[in-house]
Amino acid sequence: MGVVTPIGILAVNVSAFVMVHLTEFRIGIAACALLSGLVLNGLTAWWLLRIASRNAPPLFREYRMWAIGVAILIVALTAAGGGYLTYLGLRDPKRLPDTLSMVVATFMLLLPLAVTFAGRRMAGMGGIIPVDDPAGKEKSPPRRRGARLGRSS
């Protein structure tokens, strides 16, 4: 617990330094927001494309280039929008914490989580955290109904 106070003092001093030099840090913070958006949304898009290729191979094969192109476009636009809006939100240190920055940061965090959650639900995989079935509880193949083959009456 003795480490908390020195870390807090360092955090406050670094924050004060950033606030004094906000105009210089603004571009760097916006670039980090852009990079973060590209990574988080890119990983989510890659995962969704993998799910699509497994669940609908013929359809995915036919429209593979379109799916990848649309995914790249969406990832690039959302990341660029997040970086630009972060840059705009940090224009005046007297207005911080800025509502725009807070909303953009929240959106950039929740978008990949929401898309992953929705993708898992659509793929029939449950929520965000993968859970394996307990041993002995594996799903058995569905029984066929109808006439049995091999019997003659």
Beta-strand (E) ranges in 17-122?
none
- Section 37-51 average pLDDT: 88
CA 114 to chain centre: 7
- 32 φψ region: left (φ > 0), alpha (ψ -120 to 50), beta (else): alpha
Sign of CA dihedral 98, 99, 104, 105: positive
20: part of which helix (H) or strand (E)?
A: helix 4-20
Q: Which residue has the higher pLDDT, 81 or 113?
A: 81
Residue 79 pLDDT level (bands cut at 50, 70, 90): very high
Q: Which amino acid, one-letter code, is at 130?
A: P
- Section 80-87 average pLDDT: 90
Mean pLDDT, the chain, integer: 80
Residue 80: predicted pLDDT: 94
